[in-house]
Amino acid sequence: MTKAAVCADGPLADVLPDEFAGIEWTPTLPTVASPSWVGGDSVFFEGRSADGVHVLARCMRPSAAIRADYSAMFAAMEVAGGAGLAPAVLFHDATRGVCVQEKLGDAWQIATLYRLLDAHAWQASVRVRLQFRELAPDLPRVSVFDQVATLLAYMRDHAVHIPPIAQEVIAAVEEARGCMRDGPEAVACHGDGAVSNVMLSTNGVRLVGWTQAGRMDPLEEVGSLLTELAPFIADAETVFEFAWGDRDPVALARAQLYGVADDLRWALVGWCAQASQAGSAIEYQKYANWRLQKARCAVTNGGQFVRWLKEAR
């Protein structure tokens, strides 16, 4: 056990059950929050069990608890892992924010926008999310708008700086919230369209991350995909039609509004992480500023946001 194998509650060896005793854990997957939020919420260690199985220990960073429900997160990971849609979970402790899961082999790569330029790849990354929905696990209801409100309250209570330039987007997202009544029935979703949550290989796709897992308006997840994949991978209409199954303009407008809220949420997450986590502050700030810039472009670009508001009602 290396000295670096420490989670929020102390040495990893003191947190894990006896079945993982004797594993020599080494740090892996360093934080590269910008531009892809790799390791932004967690500290990772890898090791090999007594029977030669490669495993990955994941320790959630304290700042992730501001928005993430670890019980829902680990429950979703277990269900998805059992169905072959995510790495298998071997142990989890929601109270301490720690889990141990299967470590995918060298054949697997973290997706990037470049790797998803292949239409088959990005469509497979969407399809695996739809497969997870069909499993219908019992997860708590979540909402990006509730998370934005929670993050803003946290930032105000803890004197975390909110750039004045963000106020226009905050007001716009609050207005968008009023358009989201009477939407589709909430379903279990992975919830986070970031490409860094997708693992690719010739054997298929696996989803990782899961901090946003819960029951939500499915258009919320589609909106997260739109803001990540469009226009770099495909235009918004193409991504939407594949993820939603038709060209419904009302649903598309609602998904676009959810995408703006998603960008704001992640800007706030980045600033909270910057304030509470020493070491890689510039990484979190860069990511937060990038997500805010995307949201501002959507809100201020030629009246499209106003059009989405009208179409979404």
User: Is the per-residue pLDDT at 278 higher than 70?
Assistant: no
Percent of the chain with pLDDT over 70: 97
pLDDT for 14-64, tens place per residue? 889 999 988 999 999 888 888 888 888 999 999 998 888 899 999 999 889
* Distance of alpha carbon 270 from alpha carbon 254, whole angstroms: 25
pLDDT of residue 83: 98
- Summarize the confidence of residues 62-91 as an average pLDDT: 96
Contact, 74 vs 65, CB < 8 A? no
Which amino acid makes up residue 194? A
39 or 142: which carries more pLDDT confidence?
A: 142
Taking residue 211's Cβ as centre, other Cβ atoms within 10 Å add up to: 24
* Distance of alpha carbon 211 from alpha carbon 74, whole angstroms: 9
Percent of the chain with pLDDT over 90: 83
User: Is the per-residue pLDDT at 254 higher than 70?
Assistant: yes
203 or 104: which carries more pLDDT confidence?
A: 104
pLDDT of residue 2: 44
Taking residue 157's Cβ as centre, other Cβ atoms within 10 Å add up to: 8
- Summarize the confidence of residues 127-149 as an average pLDDT: 97
The structural domains of the chain, ordered by start, are 6-102 (3.30.200), 109-312 (3.90.1200.10)
The tokens for 17 are 């059950």
Residue for token digits 């997860």? 139
Residue for token digits 């072959």? 84
User: Is the per-residue pLDDT at 293 higher than 80?
Assistant: yes
User: Is the per-residue pLDDT at 285 higher than 70?
Assistant: yes
Contacts of 49 (CB under 8 A, 6+ apart): 19, 20, 23, 55
The tokens for 187 are 């379903």
pLDDT of residue 280: 59
Please, what is the angle between helix 249-276 and helix 236-244, to 10°? 100
pLDDT of residue 11: 86
pLDDT of residue 230: 96
Closest among 207, 187, 209, 210 to 198, alpha carbons compared: 207
Bridge partners (DSSP) of residue 205 are: 200
pLDDT of residue 3: 47
* HSE, side-chain direction, 13 A CA sphere, residue 27: 12
* Distance of alpha carbon 200 from alpha carbon 309, whole angstroms: 36
User: Is the per-residue pLDDT at 80 higher than 80?
Assistant: yes
Contacts 24+ apart (CB under 8 A), 120-128: 121/200, 122/229, 122/233, 122/234, 122/239, 123/242, 124/200, 124/204, 124/205, 125/195, 125/198, 125/200, 125/205, 126/225, 126/239, 126/242, 126/243, 127/205, 128/85, 128/204, 128/205, 128/206, 128/207
pLDDT of residue 279: 63
Contact, 214 vs 67, CB < 8 A? no
This prediction has a pTM of 0.95
- Summarize the confidence of residues 178-199 as an average pLDDT: 94
Contact, 190 vs 209, CB < 8 A? yes
* Distance from chain centroid for Cα 101: 18
User: Is the per-residue pLDDT at 244 higher than 80?
Assistant: yes
- Could you check whether the bond before residue 35 is cis, i.e. omega within 30 degrees of 0? yes
The chain-wide mean pLDDT, for the chain, equals 93
- Could you check whether the bond before residue 87 is cis, i.e. omega within 30 degrees of 0? no
Taking residue 228's Cβ as centre, other Cβ atoms within 10 Å add up to: 26
- Summarize the confidence of residues 198-223 as an average pLDDT: 97
Contacts of 261 (CB under 8 A, 6+ apart): 144, 145, 148, 173, 176, 177, 223
